[in-house]
Structures are given as structure tokens and as C-alpha cells.
Amino acid sequence: MSLIGGWSRWLAVAGLLAVAAPVLGQRLLLGNWRATLDQSTATLTIITEDEDGWLHGTLYYDPPQQDGFGGSPFTTRIERGAFSIRLFNGTSYDGMHWCRDVLCGVFHAPDNTAIPVTFARPPS
């Protein structure tokens, strides 16, 4: 085996790993995540994802928020390692991204107030 042939194989493997890593990261998002927001528990459930970075899921509040909003389904896309969720009541979660083993981002209320939010996996 030549030296050039050996290097090209290593480069090919490195290239495959670079492509596979984001897809693996997306698959790790599947399932339930929870955060405390005001006096509600927000449960983010990511149901499906695809190789193009589209996420489909639901976000529900228990108990419902002060305005009576209990949650809704959503579809969003991962772009540059982050995603945003826009809900029907005018609230949103922006810049959701990995922070070690949790999801971090910013919650925006309908009155334009913004607070940091962290979603973690619920205890088993």
C-alpha cells in the first residue's frame, strides 16, 4: 500500500465522520425535554427529524400558562447548529442549541420580554 493511498483512506473516513456527526446530533434530540417556566413545566417532545435538519414535535405546559395557552405542535429547522420554535400564542424559543447535555436558548413572551431557558431530559 502506498503512502498516498493510506492518507486518502484516512481523509475519506474523516470526511464521512464530519458528515455523520450532525445527523447523529439530531437523532440525540429525539424524545422529551423539560424546563420550568414561570409556574409551569414546559415539556418539549421532539418526535421526528430528518437528514435535512427539519424537526417536528410538540411543546406543552402543565399547568397551562397564565393566558390559558397549553401548548401546540411545531415544525422547525436546525440551521447552523441551532433551532427556534414559534408557537401559536406569540411566544417563541430562539437559539435552542446544545449546552453540554441540555438544550439552552431564550424564551420570548408575547410582551417581548426574554429570559434564558434550559431544557433537560426528565429523570427516568
Q: Is residue 58 part of a domain?
A: yes
Please report, for the domain that includes residue 39, its CATH number.
Answer: 2.40.128
Per residue in 40-88, pLDDT (tens digit) is 999 999 998 888 889 999 999 999 988 899 999 999 999 999 999 999 8
Residue among 88, 37, 89, 82 at smallest CA distance from 63: 37
Give strand pairing partners of 86.
Answer: 92
* Residue 68 CA, distance from chain mean position: 25
Q: Is residue 75 part of a domain?
A: yes
Q: Is residue 54 part of a domain?
A: yes
Q: Work out the average pLDDT over 27-44.
A: 90
Model pTM score:
0.75
Q: Is residue 33 part of a domain?
A: yes
> What torsion, rounded to 10 degrees, do the Cα atoms 99, 19, 85, 104 define?
0
Residue 120: count of CB within 10 angstroms of its CB? 14
Backbone CA torsion sign across 72, 32, 111, 70: positive
Residues 6+ apart with CB under 8 A from 112: none
Per residue in 78-121, pLDDT (tens digit) is 999 999 999 989 999 999 999 989 999 999 998 889 999 999 99
Q: Which domain holds residue 12?
A: 3-119
Give the number of domains in the chain: 1
Residue 123 phi, psi (nearest 5): -60, 145
What is the spatial distance between Cα 118 and Cα 59, in angstroms, rounded to a whole number?
14
Q: Is residue 16 part of a domain?
A: yes
DSSP tag of 19? H
Q: Is residue 124 part of a domain?
A: no
